């Protein structure tokens, strides 16, 4: 490889519903349909349940902002922000549209709470290569 200067920080935003409009339309129809069924008995409960269903899928429907820096990775999801330093990450799983970085070396039922989902968006190759370059030597992939 040539002497490339490593990029100090990469920032990008992803909105999966915009990338997959058919899936987004189907999810909205299902959410509103269940809300309407529940609203036929109780309007307030139907509105609340539609909100809960939408909230559980917020990372799909709404924009998430990511920052990869030399210190760590930050994800600002619609309702929360997660930040891990590269030293905290013990395991990484790479998939077609996202990767998951975990603070536990072995798979666990707590992975949903101790991990961070990084959606690639448009520039998958650069993001994957940057993450792989910054992972520590003992990280399980």
Domain of residue 103, CATH code: 2.30.29
Low-confidence ranges of the chain (pLDDT < 50): 1-5
Are both 101 and 43 inside the same structural domain?
no
Are both 91 and 106 inside the same structural domain?
yes
DSSP 6: P
Are both 46 and 74 inside the same structural domain?
no
pTM: 0.84
Are both 67 and 126 inside the same structural domain?
yes
Are both 88 and 27 inside the same structural domain?
no
Q: Domain of 26?
A: 17-59
Backbone angles phi, psi at 140, to 5 degrees: -85, 130
From CA 128, how far away is CA 40, in angstroms rounded?
A: 47
Model pLDDT, residue 137:
87
Q: Do 22 and 65 contact (CB within 8 A), yes or no? A: no
Give every CB contact of residue 9 below 8 A, 6+ residues apart in sequence.
Answer: 67, 68, 69, 70
| Count of domains forming the chain | 2
Are both 72 and 106 inside the same structural domain?
yes
Model pLDDT, residue 3:
46
Q: What is the pLDDT of residues 76-108, one digit of tens each?
A: 999 999 999 999 999 999 999 999 999 999 888
From CA 101, how far away is CA 86, in angstroms rounded?
A: 10
């Amino acid at each position: 490889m040539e002497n490339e200067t490593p990029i100090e920080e990469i920032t990008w935003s992803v909105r999966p519903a915009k990338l997959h409009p058919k899936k987004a339309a189907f999810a909205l129809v299902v959410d509103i349909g269940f809300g309407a069924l529940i609203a036929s008995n109780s309007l307030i409960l139907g509105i609340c349940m539609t909100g809960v269903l939408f909230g559980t899928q917020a990372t799909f429907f709404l924009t998430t902002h990511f920052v990869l820096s030399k210190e760590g990775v930050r994800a600002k999801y619609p309702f929360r922000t997660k930040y891990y330093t590269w030293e905290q990450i013990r395991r990484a799983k790479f998939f077609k549209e996202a990767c998951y970085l975990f603070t536990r070396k072995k798979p666990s039922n707590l992975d949903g709470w101790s991990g961070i989902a990084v959606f690639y968006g448009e520039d998958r190759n650069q993001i994957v290569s940057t993450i792989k370059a910054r992972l520590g030597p003992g990280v399980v992939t």
